[in-house]
Amino acid sequence: MFGDTANKLILDAKRSRALDGVPMYQEHDVRDIIRETRDLQKESDIIASQDTNAQDRVKQCQLFVTHLSMRRNKRCLLGYQRSRVEKLMEVAWNGQEMDPQQMENLSHHEQEYFKKYSNLVALYKSPFQDVDVSGSLEPPKEVFIDVRVLKDAGEILTEYGVFNLTKDSQFFVRQADVEKLIQQGYLEKL
Amino acid sequence: MDIDDILKAFDQETSRPQRSQSKLYRQDYESLKKAWINERTSPELLHYEVDLMERVLKRIRQQMEFIELNSIELQSSEEKDIKLLLVIIESELDRVNFVVRSYLRTRLDKIDKFTIYIHNEEQELKKLSPEETEYMNRHLEILVELYNKQFLSKLPESLHTLDDTSGGISMIESPELSKSVFIRVLKDIEIPIVIGGEEIDMKQDEIYVLSYRLVKDLIQAEEVALI
């Protein structure tokens, strides 16, 4: 049936919303949908070129359904891509490194986009150095917080001295100093 | 007693000559909060607060310098009073930073959502700051490039555009202006609002739930505020 593959793609997009990372790019499905849409175009061209009189309801209906299916396919493709783009945007804003395995899940053009968008975020941020536009969007409650170290992160230097972040140790530090490390998953807020 | 009270008491004690200035700062903070809440609750993008943001950013810079300067002294001198002051300023700074950040990010969210709509309307473009305009144009550019390379250019030619409005469904997402919003009336409104033949007189401090479209101009004139 027309539109079945597109439906599969949308289900994939919906399912991946709940996931942390970006799942594998469904190149195969996308290619199928493109092919289907092209076939539909050919069919509609044939129908349109046939000598029809305006009274032929069946033909008109056929043409109409073909066009609708094509548009639906396009919307599904865009929706699928958009949902992936939104995930990539989120990663770019958190200032996270894309781990190599994640990178492989992206198509070549998506990798390209991710690189460009990360640069764009950096560009937008640069005039607002003091505010850190990509910081946490949770309202701050306290200046100092307790954190636990999840991964070795080496030494960090703050205004209040040097901390050596070894796994499983706990510190009482200024939230602003460790914001980035929490986002990157090195520290956990207690 | 919260931090605002402590700060107020501090202002009164130490900076009598600067009082008018600190009042201005406080006003700016109030306006910043108002701008932030308005931006977060309104369905469409509002005007960027150029002057206000400039003043707030400058003030943040000054406060950071003050902290840096004094935390160096902190290590050398035995003065403990300053420590409390620094912590107060830091938490104030954290809060202001958060509001500024959230304000900017909320705007970017909307810009990303309504890119093509904003792009096509002269009126909407005026609402952006230079940085936001730059961001929007570049992002649109790389997005279109991505869509084209991924699949759009392989589809039949009639389906190539991103701003297609044929076929009964517009592809351009535009703000839903009829969305209901909560508002507080800041001062008595002279001209009553008319809903379905019924006139509503709005008095100061009253709270209403109305369609955004009806109060759009009043928000801009700062006669009502979104809550």
Domain assignment present for residue A172? The answer is yes
Last residue of a domain, one of A98, A125, A152: A125
One domain, residues A20 and A71: yes
Write out chain B residues lying below 8 Å of A176, CB-based.
90, 94
pLDDT in tens, B158-190: 777 777 766 666 778 888 888 999 998 888 888
Does a structural domain hold residue A148? yes
Q: Does some domain include residue A138?
A: no
Chain A residues touching residue B154 (CB < 8 angstroms): 34, 38
Q: Determine whether the interchain pair B169/A131 forms a contact, defined as Cβ–Cβ distance below 8 Å.
A: no
The CATH number of the domain where A40 resides is what? Answer: 1.20.58.1030
AA letter at B109: D
Residue A136 lies inside a defined structural domain of this protein:
no
Q: Which residue(s) pair with A163 in the sheet?
A: A156
Contact between chains at B105 and A37 (C-beta distance less than 8 A): no
As a whole number of angstroms, the distance between CA A88 and CA A45 comes to 38
Please say whether the beta carbons of B139 and B71 come within 8 A. Answer: no
Where do the H-state alpha helices sit in chain B?
Answer: 3-14, 19-41, 50-76, 81-113, 115-120, 122-125, 130-150, 212-220
pLDDT the model gives residue A159: 67
**Full pLDDT tens readout for chain B, 227 residues:** 566 666 666 555 555 555 677 788 888 888 999 999 999 999 999 999 999 999 999 999 988 888 888 777 666 655 667 777 888 888 888 889 899 999 999 999 999 999 989 988 888 899 999 999 999 999 999 998 898 888 888 888 777 777 776 666 677 888 888 899 999 888 888 887 888 778 888 888 889 898 898 888 888 888 888 88
Residue A88 Cα, gap to closest chain B Cα (Å)? 12
Residue (of A178, A143, A177) closest to A159 by Cα position = A177
Domain membership of residue A183 as a residue range: 144-189
Closest-CA distance of chain A to residue B143, Å: 7
Nearest alpha-carbon partner for A134 in B188, B206, B98, B221: B98
Q: Which residue of A has its CA nearest to B172?
A: A75
**DSSP-assigned letters across all residues of A4-19:** HHHHHHHHHHHHHTTS
Residue A111 lies in a domain: yes
Q: Do A94 and A8 share a structural domain?
A: yes
Residues B131 and B77: their CA atoms lie apart, in Å, by 43
Measured from the Cβ of residue A67, the count of other Cβ atoms closer than 10 Å reads 17
Per-residue model confidence as pLDDT tens for chain A (190 residues): 677 888 888 888 888 888 877 888 888 888 888 888 888 888 888 887 876 666 678 888 888 888 888 888 888 888 899 999 998 998 888 877 777 888 888 888 999 999 999 999 999 988 887 787 887 777 777 778 888 888 887 787 776 677 788 888 888 888 777 777 887 778 888 7
Tokens, residue B15: 């900076």
In chain A, which ranges are continuous DSSP H helix? 4-16, 27-49, 57-93, 100-105, 108-125, 175-183
Number of domains in chain A: 2
Residue (of B187, B92, B178) closest to A176 by Cα position: B92
ipTM of the complex model: 0.79
Position A25: which residue type? Answer: Y
Pair A149, A70 in one domain:
no
| Chain A residues close to B60, C-beta within 8 Å | 130-131
The shortest CB-CB distance from A143 to any of B94, B143, B152 is to: B94
Q: Note whether A97 and A158 are same-domain residues.
A: no
- Nearest CA among B61, B65, B70, B172 for reference residue B121: B172
Is residue A107 located within the same domain as residue A156?
A: no
Whether B91 and chain A come into contact, CB under 8 Å, resolves to yes
Q: Are residues A88 and A23 in the same domain?
A: yes
Chain-chain contact of B142 with A116 (C-beta, under 8 angstroms) = yes
Residues facing A161 on adjacent strands:
A158
Same-domain check for residues A31 and A90: yes
